[in-house]
Amino acid sequence: MSQPILRIATRKSPLALWQANYTADRLRQLPAQPLVELVPIVTSGDTNQTDALRQFGGTGVFTREVQRAVLDGRADLAVHSLKDLPTQSADGLVLACVPERAPRCDSLLLPAGSAQLQTLHDLPPAARVGTGSPRRQAQLLHHRPDLQLSEIRGNVDTRLRKLDDGQYDAIILAEAGLGRLGLAERISLILSPPLIFPAVSQGALGIEAREDDTTTRDLLAQLICPIALAEVQAERSLLRTLRAGCHAPLGVWCSIHDQQLTLSGVLLSHDGRTRLEQSAAGDIADAESIGRKVADLLLSCGAEPLLQA
């Protein structure tokens, strides 16, 4: 009997290819030992490296074209950074797998050769910091309103080159991506809660398959990490209930101990002056309802105007 062949749709960026190859290696280790090949896709978010992401409008800037490859049969599954994937599944697709999650915090990087920082407050006054994320910008401004924040686009290597060329005094990148690319030594400071809350699903991979493709879904089910899945279910439920897009200044932190899940959510004004925080806890089996509860708590204390801003 011939081995099944699985085709993985992925973006062409170095990080996306790392994630797709990681998934391919995990699949090859399964008892079925499927043959796996990559189907690289160029997305609109990759093609346009100048405009701020919020100017693209809507969600799915980095996922739509990759999903289309699965829907039209060019690929059998798609590997995404789950934080880029809208909470509402595309018609015909399901989120079939969330494997083990990488570290989820943000990190601050300095030009090569700079002295290490101990805290965010060690940055000089009015330091130029590169980050286009409204979530990161709002939280940075909440703690350091003097910082000069500006958009930075491009893959990780491009951003590091801009930093080392002196265009910025510091940049903010996800810890997970740097670790996956072997660049963790560039991290000067980990920005973790309560200072900076990461994005919904940050550090997690989301693997989609066609809803009617039970063969592929059964294979992917063997790679699911129950802890990571519960965490992102809670976080994405919070995001979905708030009807917040990927450009909302919303951060989350989820932890699980002894089957008890605790979720905290923070929502800020874009200038960082207003900050709301709420938390809820419960059994891991109730992950989605815990996410809805935190969203309701945020809405009850004034989240709506911040979401509409």
- The pLDDT, as a whole number, for residue 43 is 79
Could you say which of 3.40.190.10, 3.30.160.40, 3.20.20.70, 3.40.50.300 is the CATH number of the domain covering 225-308?
3.30.160.40
Please determine, for residue 202, whether its predicted confidence score (pLDDT) is greater than 90.
Answer: yes
pTM exceeds 0.85, yes or no: yes
Helix (H) / strand (E) containing 21: helix 14-28
Residue for token digits 């940075």? 140
Provide the residue ranges of all domains of the chain, joining segments of one domain with +.
1-99+204-224, 106-191, 225-308
**β-strand pairing of 128-130 with 148-150:** parallel
Sheet holding 170-174, edge to edge: 148-150, 128-130, 170-174, 106-109, 187-191
Place of tokens 């592929």: 216
pLDDT of 123-160, one tens digit each? 999 999 999 999 999 999 999 999 999 999 999 999 99
**Is the pLDDT score of 56 beyond 50?**
no
Q: Decide if pLDDT at 186 tops 60.
A: yes
Please enumerate in sequence order all residues whose Cβ is within 8 A of that of 214, keeping only pairs 6 or more positions apart, or say none.
none
Q: What are the backbone dihedrals phi and psi of residue 84, each rounded to the nearest 5 degrees, phi first?
A: -85, -10
pLDDT at 268: 98
Is there a common fold for 1-99+204-224 and 225-308? no
Angle 209-211-214 (CA atoms, 0-180°, nearest 5)? 80
Amino acid 51: pLDDT: 54
Categorize the per-residue pLDDT at 47 as very low, low, confident or very high, splitting at 50, 70 and 90: low
Dihedral, 208, 231, 156, 15 alpha carbons, nearest 10? -30
Report the pLDDT value the prediction gives residue 45, as an integer from 0 to 100.
63
Beta bridge partners of 282: 261
pLDDT digits (tens, 9 = 90+) for 262-292: 999 999 999 999 999 999 999 999 999 999 9
Tell me which of 25, 46, 51, 84 is the catalytic residue: 84
**Residue 180 in tokens:** 């996956």
- What is the reported pLDDT for 63? 92
1-99+204-224 placed in CATH 3.40.190.10: yes
Banded pLDDT at 48 (limits 50, 70, 90): low
d(CA 25, CA 35): 10
Mean pLDDT across the chain: 94
What mean pLDDT comes out for the span 218-239?
A: 98
Q: What is the per-residue pLDDT for 245?
A: 78
| 287-300 and 226-242 helices, crossing angle to 10° | 30
Is a pLDDT exceeding 80 seen at residue 60?
Answer: no
Indicate the pLDDT class of residue 243, thresholds 50, 70 and 90.
very high
- Phi-psi bin for 63: left (phi > 0), alpha (psi -120 to 50), beta? alpha
Distance between CA atoms of residues 154 and 131, nearest Å: 11
Q: Is 84 a catalytic residue?
A: yes
pLDDT at 4: 72
Measured CA distances, 255 to 193, 194, 235, 252, 261 (Å) = 12, 14, 11, 10, 6
What are the φ and ψ backbone dihedral angles of 162, each rounded to 5 degrees? -65, -40
- As its CATH architecture, domain 106-191 has 3-Layer(aba) Sandwich (3.40)
